[in-house]
Structure 1
Amino acid sequence: QNIIKRVNCLLVFHQNHRSAETEVHKQKKINKAKLSKQLRQERARIC
């Protein structure tokens, strides 16, 4: 049960990550390494 919850969380997170990356490509302001680091921390916190 816990594993399923975690997998779902990661899937949702991954989709959010994708849209965040798309935003970055549009804006080109935030550098990608910074974004990845931020997203990893966020994922660790949420999941």
Structure 2
Amino acid sequence: MDTRIEVIGIDHGWSMMKSVSEVFVTGIKEITTIPALYKDTLEYKGK
């Protein structure tokens, strides 16, 4: 049985998320076309 614990720290600020190895933009954006894939797509008030 593996009893090790691994802690992964992140900083989720206003518009960027940072981990030990990556920094990336967070947020949402309205698209004006029909998405090719609906996975991870949020619909809000018909948009």
TM-score per shorter chain, which class? under 0.3
Q: Which has the higher strand share?
A: 2
Larger radius of gyration: 2
Q: Which has the higher helix share?
A: 1
- What TM-score do you get using the length of structure 2 for normalisation? 0.25
